[in-house]
Amino acid sequence: MARGKRERQWAVLRRCLAIIRRAQRGPATWKELVDAVLWQDPEAYGGTQDKALHRRLENDLRRIREELLVDLYYDRQAGGYIIRDAWLPLLDLPDDDLATIAWLEEMFGLESPQHDEVHALLDKLRLYLGPERLAVIERSRTALTVNLRQRDEDEISPAVWDGLTRALSQRRRVEFMYLSPQYEDGQPRRHVVDPYDRTFDTARGHYYLRAYCRCADTPGGLEEPHCYITYRVGRILDLKVLPQKLSPVSPAAPRYEVVYELAPQVARLGVSRQPEIEIHEVEQRDDGSALVRGETDSVFWAVQSLLHYGPNCRVVGGPEMVREMRAVVQGMAKVYEGN
């Protein structure tokens, strides 16, 4: 009798592992989870159908959450069951492999080919690793940055740096005071954000944090922008790591159309990639000029990127891009007219 009971327990475990493996592949409907179990063992659910089958799957999902400590729930945004978190790590890797993950994260910057695909894969691996192993990745990234790139020109508080490292490795929300040059009073203001990536910009000489801003204090009061903002780490003060864990499905970023013309002087031999702009189409014209179409999730940084072309670039499309570029150029014109 005891032997039969043990075999039933192993059968339950095999079903749960099949469900977890299918969820690791991507969002799955309840039928796709059932199919994954039945593909492994056609008799796993004893031929039950409809409501009875649905009930048995729900029981297995409950076991996965309560016994295996894997938060596997239906997510409306993703359109299926996903693993939101894994309190019991589902993956472990040797230190050398973790160092390779850190290297890939550093080398595949925004301007790199296949950036989104590479980082999507690395994010999946991070989700299934335990916090102590994620900390190894962050330490490896820090060592790589120190060895391969110049240090930030800002003075970054060790408490801010260590707090960000902990938040990124544990995938937790943070709160901090941010000193933005946008406001003339020079006062730092509170921001609550979901941190996703900390990178070093060699051209600008600073570390930046890409984060999804949940709320921020402004001179006009509390705002909830719910958009991605790139923060300069050297301007972050009094950082606190909050208990809220980040969803494995990062919030969708608003995308803005970008259309610009390049003069023949800079376009005859091809159009360069811009780290802040995803280029979709390049139309080479007979006179050597080019019309470039793409999109960005940061109008500010896209405009900054195009400014290096000077008068050889004209933004002609994307209302947000045209408005921002016009404001910047008119502001510069006032400065030089004044001189």
pLDDT tens readout for residues 258-278: 999 999 998 877 888 877 888
- The structure tokens 């060790």 sit at 158
Q: How far is the CA of 55 from the CAs of 16, 50, 61, 168, 287, in angstroms?
A: 14, 9, 10, 37, 68
Q: What is the pLDDT of residue 148?
A: 41
CB 209 within 8 A of CB 164: yes
Report percent pLDDT > 90 for the chain: 37
CB 118 within 8 A of CB 112: yes
φ, ψ at 170 (rounded to 5°): -95, 0
pLDDT tens readout for residues 288-337: 999 999 999 889 889 988 998 999 999 999 999 999 999 999 999 888 88
Which candidate, 212, 249, 255, places its Cα nearest to that of 77?
249
Q: Is the pLDDT of residue 190 over 90?
A: yes
Find the mean pLDDT for residues 81-96: 88
Find the mean pLDDT for residues 111-130: 80
Q: What is the pLDDT of residue 238?
A: 94
Q: Which amino acid makes up residue 101?
A: I
pLDDT tens readout for residues 124-163: 888 888 888 888 888 887 776 654 444 567 788 889 988 9
pLDDT tens readout for residues 19-67: 999 999 989 998 999 999 999 988 888 888 888 898 999 999 999 999 9
Q: What is the pLDDT of residue 150?
A: 45
pLDDT tens readout for residues 206-259: 888 989 999 998 877 888 888 888 899 999 999 999 999 887 777 877 889 999
pTM check: above 0.85? no
Q: What is the pLDDT of residue 314?
A: 95
CB atoms within 10 A of CB 54: 14
Q: How far apart are CA 32 and CA 19, in angstroms?
A: 9
Helix (H, G, I), strand (E, B) or coil at 235: helix
Q: What is the pLDDT of residue 273?
A: 80
Average pLDDT, the chain: 85
Q: Is the pLDDT of residue 106 over 70?
A: yes
Q: What is the pLDDT of residue 81?
A: 92
Q: How far apart are CA 163 and CA 166, in angstroms?
A: 5
Q: What is the pLDDT of residue 152?
A: 64
| Residue 181 tokens, joined | 């040059």
Q: Is the pLDDT of residue 201 over 70?
A: yes
